[in-house]
């Protein structure tokens, strides 16, 4: 777990993402849709960094 906190600017940017359910200075909660996409693409061999990059 990272001890890095999100700034107000980062929180505003992340909040606009279609796949972000909620965001606070301590963490991000993703939508169920994104979780399904993530699992599917990860099982197909994509790396997590690539999946997150592809979906904003």
What pTM, to 2 d.p., does this model score? Answer: 0.81
Q: What pLDDT, on the 0 to 100 scale, is given for residue 1? A: 55
Domain boundaries, the chain: 8-55
- Report d(CA 8, CA 33) in Å as an integer: 25
Name the pLDDT band for 33 (thresholds 50, 70, 90). very high
- In this prediction, residue 50 carries a pLDDT of 96
Asked whether the beta carbons of 41 and 47 are under 8 A apart, the reply is no
Q: What is the CA radius of gyration of the chain?
A: 12
């Amino acid at each position: 777990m990272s001890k890095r906190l999100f700034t107000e600017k980062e929180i505003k940017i992340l909040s606009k993402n279609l796949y972000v359910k909620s965001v606070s200075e301590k963490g991000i909660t993703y939508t169920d849709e994104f979780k399904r996409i993530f699992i599917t693409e990860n099982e197909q061999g994509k790396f997590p960094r690539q999946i997150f990059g592809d979906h904003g």
